[in-house]
Amino acid sequence: MYFKRALLYLVLISACVMAGAPLLAREGVEVGKESAFANLVPAAEVEQSARQQYAQMLKEAASKNALGPDDHPQVQRLRRIAKELIPFALQWNPRAKDWAWEVNLIGSNQINAFCMPGGKIVFYTGILNQLKLTDDEVAMVMGHEIAHALREHARERMGKSVATDGLARIGSTIAAAAFGINPNLTDFVARQGANLLTLKFSRDDETEADLVGMELAARAGYNPESGVSLWQKMSEANKGAPPQWLSTHPSGNSRIHEIQANLPKVMPLYERAKAVR
Is 208 a catalytic site residue? Answer: no
Contact criterion met (CB below 8 Å) for 183 and 57: yes
| Integer Cα distance of 79 and 91 in angstroms | 20
Question: How are the residues of the chain apportioned to helix, strand and coil, as percentages rounded to the nearest 5?
Answer: 65, 5, 30
Contact between 164 and 148 under an 8 Å Cβ cutoff? The reply is: no
Q: Residue 58 — φ and ψ, nearest 5°?
A: -65, -40
Q: Which of 145, 206, 208, 215 is catalytic?
A: 145
Residues 212/213/216/217 CA torsion (nearest 10 deg): -150
Burial class (CB in 10 A: 0-12, 13-18, 19+), 226: buried
Active site residues: 145
